[in-house]
Amino acid sequence: MARQKTTTPHREAMGGLAKGLAVIRAFAHDHSAMNLSEIARSAGIPAATARRCLLTLEELGYVTRNGRDFLLRPKVLELGAAYLDSMNIEKITRTHLEELARNTSDSAALCVLDGLEIVYVARTSVRTLLRLEAHVGSRFPAHATSTGRVLLAGASADRLQRYFDTAKLEALTDQTVTDRTKLRSLVEDCRRTGYSVVQDELAYGIVALAVPVIDQQGRVVAALNTSSHSRRITKTKLVRDRLTMLQQASRQISADLATAPWLSLSAQL
């Protein structure tokens, strides 16, 4: 049975705030509109509590209704924007990502690890991938992405063990690696070589190469990737043509991020 990391609630913690955030997190791409009982079930709270949270969020402008269903309103984006604004990540990485995208005629992104998923915190592109278009805030399962494997390779032994104890390695395509032993081996390979390349595992047609971004203490705090369409470039050619370029951009970003103490802290969580 998967072991869950447990924490003892702080005596001054606001349970109501936690439940309200759980209601917001209940919404997803495939659950963009839900009724009260569906939201309560997804958030893991009683229906009466979910109703009070929804009424509060509706009054504040974060939620709206369509008949019996509730939907998030664009104001929710302000919550994520506050995080990105506090990091100033877009300003720090914009030049490097734009240069990388321009030199490859594809896309470039910076991702961090959040639990079992990777999160895009910066991205730029000169080409649209028809199968999947990511944006700042997009989340994907770590096991199926090049950035995820880079971040797992840089994780502490305890954090990596927690990941394998709790992750559901779902097959997103018939190429997705779901065997834990094989995934561990790929993560070890990434730790040894310093990069990861993945093709047709997150979605058919997508091939991506990623390298770590290192802080001043030598810890992996983010992952930088370049991606393209697998019909346009093979994994082997992607590594041959772009690895050096990607590593150089990573070193430049690492130097710039030395002024962002929040990123070093995130590597310890």
Q: Where are the domains of the chain?
A: 15-72, 79-266
Quickly state the pLDDT bin for 1 (edges 50, 70, 90). Answer: very low
| CATH code reported for the domain at 79-266 | 3.30.450.40
**Residue 238 pLDDT exceeds 50:** yes
The reported pLDDT for the residue numbered 73 is 81
User: Which stretches of the chain are DSSP H helices?
Assistant: 15-26, 36-43, 47-60, 77-87, 89-104, 146-153, 157-166, 180-193, 235-256, 261-266
Architecture (CATH level 2) of domain 15-72: Orthogonal Bundle (1.10)
Residue of higher predicted confidence among 41 and 218: 41
C-beta separation of 169 from 143 below 8 A = yes
Q: What is the C-alpha separation between 120 and 111, in angstroms, rounded?
A: 5
Residue of higher predicted confidence among 268 and 90: 90
The closest of 175, 146, 145 to 243, measured between CA atoms, is: 146
The reported pLDDT for the residue numbered 77 is 61
Residue of higher predicted confidence among 122 and 153: 153
Quickly state the pLDDT bin for 5 (edges 50, 70, 90). Answer: very low
Task: Dump pLDDT digits (tens) for 52-89.
Answer: 999 999 989 889 888 889 988 867 766 665 555 555 55
C-beta separation of 154 from 194 below 8 A = no
Q: What is the C-alpha separation between 112 and 221, in angstroms, rounded?
A: 7
The reported pLDDT for the residue numbered 29 is 54
Q: In this structure, what token pair is assigned to residue 247?
A: 């590593």
The reported pLDDT for the residue numbered 46 is 93
C-beta separation of 104 from 79 below 8 A = no
CA 265 vs CA 109, 124, 186: distances in Å:
21, 25, 26
The closest of 133, 97, 99, 101 to 205, measured between CA atoms, is: 133
Burial tier of 240 (Cβ tally within 10 Å: 0-12, 13-18, 19+): exposed
